[in-house]
Amino acid sequence: MEKLFDGLLIASMVLLAISIGFIFYRIVKGPSVSDRVVSLDSIGIHLISMTAILCVYFRTTAYTEVVLLIGILSFIGTTAFSKFIEGGVVIERRRDR
């Protein structure tokens, strides 16, 4: 039963890797910038999933910090890209005059 479970985990990692390949194609070929932003966010979600599956496969909690770090970086990146698309600048500097 344990070998079956390990096989399922490996199969899910392979499917996620293939999916990342298709998403990377969407980043390169994407018709608009918003498609590319969504694709980058999707790659972040897939990387979080792959890291979580690695945690289960190795039966350890050593990679949980990596999951949190990828999640935070993915969120910050998506927010920065969205802000750039909306206004053209990521950090607005308004000075009181």
Q: Provide the Cα torsion 53, 58, 64, 69; round to 10°.
A: -70
Q: Could you read off the pLDDT of 79-91 as tens digits, one per residue? A: 888 888 877 766 7
Kindly give, in sequence order, each residue whose CB lies less than 8 Å from that of residue 97, ignoring residues fewer than 6 positions away: none
CA 35 to chain centre: 14
Q: Could you read off the pLDDT of 22-32 as tens digits, one per residue? A: 999 999 988 88
Which residue in this structure is represented by tokens 């999916």?
19
Q: Could you read off the pLDDT of 18-71 as tens digits, one per residue? A: 999 999 999 998 888 888 888 989 999 999 999 999 999 999 999 999 999 999
The answer to whether position 30 is within a domain reads: yes
The answer to whether position 97 is within a domain reads: no
The answer to whether position 95 is within a domain reads: no
Mean pLDDT of 72-84: 88
What's the pTM?
0.82
pLDDT given at position 10? 96
How many domains does the chain divide into?
A: 1
The range of the structural domain enclosing residue 35 comes to 2-87
Residue closest to 52 by CA, chosen among 61, 43, 39:
61
The answer to whether position 92 is within a domain reads: no
Which residue in this structure is represented by tokens 């979080």?
48
